[in-house]
Chain A
């Protein structure tokens, strides 16, 4: 089945630094990738949708200058949390689609990255 790999699985960084999270589709080409954030005991909240070769589309309330998304190839998307603060500590999860949105094609998710900002 389709595999999505996310790296790192956990990271601790100091306040004010930037952190990059990678999301790779290992056995298919992902024309669209989605980035989610999940706070403790809450559901997943969509942050942004990234399409290969074009700018990401951010959900309302998500700062595009703080959460930089790059989707430069059909197998890799990155999320960079810039100038991280303790309130950015969360579980970040990516998912990937082979094309055409969701519909009859299941999205597959990475295993998430737990970010802790001290």
Chain B
């Protein structure tokens, strides 16, 4: 699976959009971009995933660049409950999930 690079930490004011970047320059054509988050002392929570097209669900939006070498997870209106570690993971069809170090997002008042 392709490796990812994420900033170790980010801050965001409550009510503002949180934009979390992820670089995955070695992604191959059949690999998906997945985002999970882990709130302290809980299991990871699935957020969203995509292959080529941008995706949106009730939690977030995923923007994937045309060359697929990077992506951005957008939380449109961050709340304090969105404080967590966010993991960007690249995986193929028959693979397990390999977690990197993620981005620690701190949402502040």
Q: Using a CB–CB distance below 8 Å, which chain A residues touch chain B?
A: 4, 6, 34, 36, 43-46, 49, 91, 93, 95, 100-104, 106-112, 114
For chain B, the count of residues having a C-beta within 8 Å of the partner chain is 25
Which residues of A are found within 8 Å of B96, using beta-carbon distances?
34, 46, 49, 101-102
Which residues of A are found within 8 Å of B53, using beta-carbon distances?
none
Q: Using a CB–CB distance below 8 Å, which chain B residues touch chain A?
A: 32, 34, 36, 38, 41-46, 49, 51, 87, 91-102
Q: Known contacts A43-B102, A102-B91, A103-B92: does B43 contact A111 (CB below 8 Å)?
A: yes
- CA distance in complex: A93, B44 (Å): 9
Instruction: Determine the main DSSP class of B at the interface with A.
Output: loop
Contact residue among A4, A43, A46 (Cβ-Cβ distance under 8 Å from B101): A43
A109 touches B45 (CB 8 A): yes
B97 touches A112 (CB 8 A): no
- A selection of 26 A-B contacts at a CB cut-off of 8 Å is A43-B100, A43-B102, A44-B38, A44-B44, A91-B41, A93-B43, A93-B44, A95-B43, A95-B44, A95-B97, A100-B93, A100-B94, A101-B92, A101-B94, A101-B96, A102-B32, A102-B93, A102-B94, A102-B97, A103-B94, A104-B32, A106-B49, A109-B36, A111-B42, A112-B41, A112-B42
Minimum distance in angstroms from B2 CB to a CB of chain A? 13
- CA distance in complex: A45, B99 (Å): 7
